[in-house]
Amino acid sequence: MNLDLIRLIIQWFGGLLAFVALGFVLYGIWRGTRRKTGRTTGLGGSWLHSPWLYFASAVFFFGIAYLGWTPLPLTFSASTRVLMLGLGSLLYFPGMSLLMWGRLALGNNYFVSTGLGARLYSDHQLVKTGPYAFVRHPMYSGLILSAVGSLLIYSTWTTVFFVCFVPLMFVRAWREEMVLSAEFGDEWQEYCKCVPAFFPRFGKG
């Protein structure tokens, strides 16, 4: 099996996994817009219930993905391409799996946030099981790994954009932590002492 065929298989499988993950996320958003709103923080918190926000976001991101899906003007040797595919796969596929695991672990507590605001439900629960026993933001950790991995696997302008989008994950996490701290108080503070934000601790302490 030659390198180009292996690369094509990895890319197709990666694309399929991305659409599956997108389906999980969109279903959670659709269901969340039909639930009673609880505590909200940030200027954009009220927008999260508007279908126009999701329509505009979809047009923007799919437009960027379509227009930017052209290869980067770079040439790599065969050994470098093998290294990129291997490392990219080790980042992308576990990252996407972590994203979906986090989404499933949240269950009915899942909803989307933005850098401007975050929103909880009126009966929101603090999830500390599954991947949330190891990191506070496993979905964002998964997205960060997937973004870097996708750049190595696909090497398009679109994947460069995804990597540039990574800093906004930290802003969104900060917004979410503000509203979770206000909602759950001491329980949240104790959780933060035991569980790191994005990357798990190894060993004691």
Mind listing the pLDDT tens digit of every residue in the chain (205 residues)?
688 899 999 999 999 999 999 888 888 888 877 778 778 776 555 666 677 777 787 888 888 888 899 999 988 898 999 999 999 999 999 999 999 999 999 988 888 777 677 888 888 999 999 999 999 999 999 999 999 999 999 999 999 999 998 999 999 899 899 999 999 999 999 999 999 999 988 765 4
Give the Cα-Cα-Cα angle 172, 146, 51 (nearest 5 degrees). 45
pTM: 0.89
d(C-alpha 102, C-alpha 135), whole Å = 10
Per-residue pLDDT at 125: 92
- pLDDT tens digits for range 12-22: 999 999 999 98
- pLDDT tens digits for range 112-150: 777 677 888 888 999 999 999 999 999 999 999 999 999
Q: What are phi and psi of 200, to 5 degrees?
A: -65, 150
Half-sphere exposure of 142 (CA within 13 A, CB side): 21
AA letter at 116: L
Cα torsion angle, 160, 165, 169, 170, sign: positive
The hierarchical CATH code for the domain 3-194 is: 1.20.120.1630
Query: In sequence order, what are the beta bridge partners of 121?
Result: 37
